[in-house]
Structure 1
Amino acid sequence: MYRARDAVENEEWAAAIDEAGERLDLGTEARSRAVDLFLSNVPDEDRSKEAVLATSVYVAALTTGEQRSQSAVADATGVSRLTIQQRWKPILESAGLDAPEW
């Protein structure tokens, strides 16, 4: 869970999530969940925020039934696919969800 202050301090990142969601043609539920995931896992260092943003978008799409590939999310957010691949499970689990068994 996050504080309202976190939302205010990270408005630019929430806007970036919305832009990525637009590029990926994600619905409002997926975009909202991505913001919630990001704010619940926001790192202290700005450098790490891009990775958490991309991973949050990927996990939100996955959990709302609007699945997008890691490559598509990486392209839309400007990070590497490997970054998403390495980070998505911990963010999924931090939300209290189990990783799928593909």
Structure 2
Amino acid sequence: MYSARERVENEEWIEELHEIAASIDLDADARSTAIDLFLSNLPDEERSKRAVLAASLYAGALIESDARSQGVVADAAGVARLTIQQRWKEILREAGMEPPTW
């Protein structure tokens, strides 16, 4: 879980998450879940936040049955598809979920 302080300190990233989600037409539930996943998996290094943000968007959309392809999310977030592919399952595990095996 994350603190209110983490949410405030990362407001710019959350705003960017909303902008990316809007650009790929994710619904409100997927956005909310993505924010929770992002804040629960904040990396220490600033440069890693974009990768976690993108993977959180992808995972949040999957959880809420509003899925987009890794490529679509990666393009919208400005990361490589491989970045999402390498991180999204671990984000789900950290949230206490079992990722699919496909």
Q: Same fold (TM over 0.5)?
A: yes
Map of 1:21 onto structure 2: 21
Name the Cα RMSD after superposition.
0.6
- The alignment-based identity, stated in percent, is 60
CA distance in structure 2 between the partners assigned to 1:23 and 1:17 by the alignment = 10
Q: How far apart are the structure 1 equivalents of 2:44 and 2:9?
A: 11
Secondary structure of 1:25's aligned partner: coil
Instruction: State the TM-score, normalizing by the size of structure 1.
Output: 0.97
In 2, the alpha carbon distance for the partners of 1:20 and 1:33 equals 14
Corresponding letter in the other structure for 1:97:
M
Which blocks of at least 5 consecutive residues in structure 2 are unaligned? none
Q: Deviations over 1:45-88 (max 9, x none)?
A: 11000000000000000110011100000011000000000111
Q: Count matched residues.
A: 102
Which consecutive segments of 4 or more residues in structure 1 shift more than 4 A?
A: none
1:98 alignment partner in structure 2: 98
Distance apart, 1:100 and its partner CA: 1.2
What's the counterpart of residue 55 of structure 1?
55
Q: Which amino acid letter does the alignment assign opposite residue 74 of structure 1?
A: A
Aligned to 2:87: 87
1:63, 1:12 → 2: CA distance?
24
> Which residue of structure 1 aligns with residue 42 of structure 2?
42
Structure 1 residue runs without a partner (length 5+): none
Aligned-pair CA distance for 1:6: 0.2
